[in-house]
Structure 1
Amino acid sequence: MSADIKRQVIEKIKSSSMFTIQLDESTDVASISQLMVFAQRDNVHRETIQEEFLFCSSLTETTPAADVMNLVCYFFSKEHLNWGKLIGVCSDGAPALLGRHAGFAQLVKEKNPLVVEGFHQCFAYLVDIFGSINAMNTNMHGRERNVLNVTNSINAFKYKLKLWVERLATGNVKVSFPVLNSLVDKEAPSASLLTDIKHHSNSLIAKFERYFPKLDSRTEQLMILTRDPFRRNVHEISEQFQEKFLELTNNSALKDDFKELSI
């Protein structure tokens, strides 16, 4: 990375309201362990997680978490990065980075107690779920929208949520949550994260059921009649409307109009 590009990356991170860091341990051609640190700036509106390289430093074979922390602290100090803006940290699972009490994540929390481990995956899930909600919301707007297709969109989303919860039981996030899935190759979702996603999805289902309850039988019958009255049977209609219904369904001009015009 050139000095100019690196400076641009640092400035973007410094100007961000929040960022996360990802630590990966690799080995170079001389078989020397290398610590690579990336920063991730999350963008809900663009539905992306932007990952940018920060620095790389050699490690000893038995590098403890404290030494890793010193390397990161030195970089933060040199580049004047604000620990208060760091809201998440994750790693590739290297032993020095994992310890719950003495590991790198715990040392970071001493700098900023609000830091969340594995935050990038939580955020990725939110990008996915808000993306789906936004898509449904967009689909409910427009000149050709009416109570019938809006109801269809809401019902479809409720069934999707239930399907996603079923998939979560086996840890499957591949289709339901593509942004989250893009991170799975680096670090599989933890059982606790899957549980949190399941609880959140069930909460969304409950809210949608409360705000958009199942239609009563009379309303549902009217909606079926509205969608295509010419394919309904007269005995499906209330007695007080049956004769009017027969007049309508035997009106050839209306039948032709129904084929050509929107509801």
Structure 2
Amino acid sequence: MSPKRKYDNDYIKFGFTSIEVNRETRPQCVICAVVLSNDALKPAKLERHLKTVHPNLSDRSPEFFSGKLENLKKMKLGPSGSRFESSQKALSASFEISQLIAKSKKPHTIGETLVKPCLLKGVEEVLGLEAKKKIQEIPLSNNTVKPRIETMSLDIEEQILLKIKNSPYFALQCDETTDIANCCQLLVFVRFVDEDNTIKEELLLSHALETTSKGINVMNIISNYFEKHQILWQNVAGFCTDGAPSMLGSRSGLASLVKQKNCSILTTHCIIHRQALASKTLPDDLNRAMKLAIKVVNTVKSSALNTRILKKICTDLDSEYETLLFHTEVRWLSKGNMLTRLFELREELKVFLAERNVDVLHDFCDSKFEIRLAYLVDIFAHLNKLNLQLQGSGNESLKNTANIFVFEDKLRAFICKIELWINKVDEKNFSVFPTLKIFVEDKNYSSFVAEIQGSVMCHLHQLKNEFIRYFPEYDRVETETVRRMIRNPFTVKIEDLPDEIQEEVIELQNDGSCKDTFATGLNLEEFWCKKAIGYPVVRKTALRYLVLFSTTFLCEQGFSNLLLIKNKQRNRLDVKDDIRVALSNISPRIPQLVKKMQAQKSH
């Protein structure tokens, strides 16, 4: 291979400047703008072009050609000209729009079938034909949008990897699901301390499981990813999964395999899954009422005709709602929402069941069922409220403060609430169950009060026992000294702490500025991430707990987005790039990506 030739500034006397094409320097004529090969960077070849193509200019001075070079730049034909800048802007716009397409979880073809036609039509109407010509240059074809998303995905991944490598600790949550094409998709999210001293959550990887979804299969994917990107297991503080045997099995479960990599990793079972399991318990009479409620809903929803008839009845009676809600066992909030809607439409349902002569009419109209249904509506409203409080990043009120201590407090408070409810109901005080209270105070239901009181007491005792069984760590005052130190470093006893952090905690306890800041109610994450920077050892100890995941809610949220991205019409799509761009809170570095690419126009 012949060596690459370099441009000499003296070549301007032959009427040539230089331009870079595919990382190769080539000569460009300042008169006709033609670009020659790198091999033509010889005085003899450049002079031959001048004399044969532009013979009438062969005797002009270098100053003449320098003036032509300036004209060339003004004409925007060179690497610093507007045509180049125009292409660069079109390329940047292509990235920006492709990112929006990925964020909206739409097919890549929407760029050329809807977005660009809308842009062209709108710009032509508002700004005229000249502006429309510029919009026409934006590349948005299907074959363009896909690589744009792939490029942005790689850039986002590169940023995330750099951030977690610079974080003192990070934690993982993972779960798997089956998509529309019966492909098992694994999602792994990471929680880390960012360079701005805030705790962030991002999608680390999305990967298809080719065969089984056992713990060893998931572990191999994560381990290979760590090895490929040189991520250290020693920096992993925690690992959160759902309660499946493949995840929490004592021998071959993922949690056990993870501990083999780093025995200090804290493995946890998603608290929302545990809360949902604990909430399943019901005494026999309330369980029968629940089954009857589900049966009535299924009677209506399983038939299009029945659905239309109920809607017509609701419209005629001027009801607030017109349809019932399905109950789905795997959806955390569906049981409570279904019961609430059923209760609100109970009178309309009585009319419907009577018109359709459905066999459950007698049971549905029974007063005992109504009063039991009222209690179920109230108790599942309380459980749904707790579920929402445990959803971490999905709960706006807990944004940027969704750490394990917040969730521990919520669960401990709920167990204490159950004890309060038991005492109130024992005294025939039903104020915490407003729907039930209306029936209890109604004289028509007075004969059923003692029976429902017994059922409620029985259920609340069962509920408390189940929560204690699934959350044994929250049925006592917190005793672990380090965790108490993280909650409040100014009240903990120094002699109870590990030796390696005692001196720094003493210094922290005597830091007036930190003490005053903590007293203002600053949340734990902000205090330890930003204010306690001057105490690196104790800060690192605190961050090890603060980065932990308590739930797999991000995975559940990711699965919902997966259904939108990979649907029936796009069942062959490899989702890893689309889902990363769609879910990431980190923006791709589009200006840098544009600089790396050769700007080209689209048709």
Same fold by TM-score greater than 0.5: yes
Counterpart contact for 1:158–1:205, Cα < 8 Å: yes
Pair 1:262 & 2:523 matched: yes
Structure 1 residues 145 and 53 mapped into 2: Cα distance closer, same or farther (>3 Å)?
closer
CA contact (8 A) 2:324 2:341 kept: no
Q: What code does the residue aligned with 2:411 have?
A: I
The question of whether the paired residues in 2 share the 8 Å contact of 1:49 and 1:124 is answered with: no
* Distance of aligned partners of 1:149 and 1:118 in 2 relative to their CA distance in 1, 3 Å threshold: same
Q: Distance in 1 between matches of 2:342 and 2:385?
A: 12
Amino acid at match of 1:121: I
AA aligned to 1:118 is: K
Equivalent position to 1:129, from 370, 379, 389 = 379
1:170-194: CA deviation from partner (whole Å, max 9, x where unpaired)? 2221x12111112223313432221
Q: Distance in 1 between matches of 2:374 and 2:471?
A: 27
Q: CA deviation at 1:84?
A: 3.4
The letter of the residue matching 2:501 is F
Check whether the contact 2:494–2:502 (CA below 8 A) recurs between aligned residues.
yes
Question: Which of 464, 473, 477 is residue 205 of structure 1 equivalent to?
Answer: 464
Cα displacement (A) at 1:149? 1.6
CA distance in 1, matches of 2:343, 2:365: 18
Question: Tell me, which stretches of 5 or more residues in structure 1 are unaligned?
Answer: 1-5, 18-41, 56-71, 91-116
Provide runs of 4+ in structure 1 moved above 6 Å.
none
Displacement after TM superposition at 1:260 (Å): 8.1
Question: 2: distance between equivalents of 1:219 and 1:47?
Answer: 45
Residues 219 and 238 of structure 1: CA distance in aligned 2, closer, same or farther (over 3 Å): same
* Partner residue in 2 for 1:119: 369
Corresponding residue for 2:408?
151
The residue aligned with 1:178 is: 434
Task: Return closer, same or farther for 1:217/1:87 CA change in 2, 3 Å cut-off.
Answer: closer
- Per-residue deviation, 1:202: 0.6
Cα offset, 1:123, TM superposition: 1.1
Alpha-carbon displacement from aligned partner over 1:113-166 (angstroms, at most 9, x marks no partner): xxxx51011111111111101111212223312111211111111111111111
Partner letter of residue 420 of structure 2? L
* Map of 2:313 onto structure 1: 8
Partner residue in 1 for 2:453: 194
Q: Secondary structure at the match of 1:172?
A: coil
* Higher RCO (CA-CA < 8 Å; seq separation 6+): 2
Q: 2:504 aligns with which of 227, 244, 258?
A: 244
Residue 232 of structure 1 aligns to a residue whose secondary structure is coil
Q: Which ranges in structure 2 are unaligned for 5 or more consecutive residues?
A: 1-310, 318-322, 326-336, 394-398, 525-603
Residue 16 and residue 47 in structure 1: after superposition, are their counterparts in 2 closer, same or farther (change >3 A)?
closer
| Change in 2 beyond 3 A, CA 1:54/1:47 | closer
Residue correspondence of structure 1 range 29-178 to structure 2 within 5 A: 43-46=338-341, 48-52=343-347, 76=354, 79-84=355-360, 87-90=363-366, 118-140=368-390, 141-142=392-393, 143=399, 144-173=401-430, 175-178=431-434
Aligned counterpart, 2:19 = none
Q: Distance in 2 between matches of 1:223 and 1:159?
A: 21
Q: Call closer, same or farther: CA 1:47–1:128 in 2, change over 3 Å.
A: farther
Is the 2:363–2:369 contact (alpha carbons within 8 Å) kept by the matching residues of 1?
yes
Matched residue type, 1:204: L
CA contact (8 A) 1:234 1:246 kept: yes
**Map of 2:492 onto structure 1:** 232
The structure in which a higher percent of residues are strand is 1
Distance of aligned partners of 1:237 and 1:52 in 2 relative to their CA distance in 1, 3 Å threshold? same
Pair 85,222 (structure 1): closer, same or farther in 2 beyond 3 Å: farther
What is the distance in 2 between the residues matched to 1:199 and 1:242? 48
How far apart are the structure 2 equivalents of 1:261 and 1:54?
51
Distance in 2 separating the partners of 1:212 and 1:162: 15
Find the aligned partners of 1:16 and 1:86 in 2 and give their Cα distance. Answer: 20
Point out the more displaced range, 119-128 or 217-226. 217-226
CA distance in 2 between partners of 1:170 and 1:218 (Å): 31
Amino acid at match of 2:502: Q
The alpha carbon displacement at 1:218 in A equals 7.3
User: How far has the Cα of 1:231 moved from its partner?
Assistant: 3.6
The Cα offsets for residues 190-218 of structure 1, whole Å up to 9 and x where unpaired, read as 32221111111111100111111146777
| Seq. identity, % | 26
How large is the Cα RMSD of the aligned pairs? Answer: 4.0
CA contact (8 A) 1:164 1:176 kept: yes
Deviation sequence 1:52-72 (CA, Å, 0-9, x none): 3799xxxxxxxxxxxxxxxx9
Q: Give the TM-score of the pair, scaled to structure 1.
A: 0.57
Partner SS for 2:364? strand
**Which residue of structure 1 lines up, in the alignment, with residue 482 of structure 2?**
222
Deviation readout 1:20-41 (Å, 9 max, x if unpaired): xxxxxxxxxxxxxxxxxxxxxx
Matches of 2:324 and 2:515 in 1, distance apart? 60
Task: Supply the distance in 2 between the matched residues of 1:177 and 1:185 (Cα, whole angstroms).
Answer: 12
Shift of 1:49: 3.0
Q: Distance in 2 between matches of 1:10 and 1:184?
A: 30
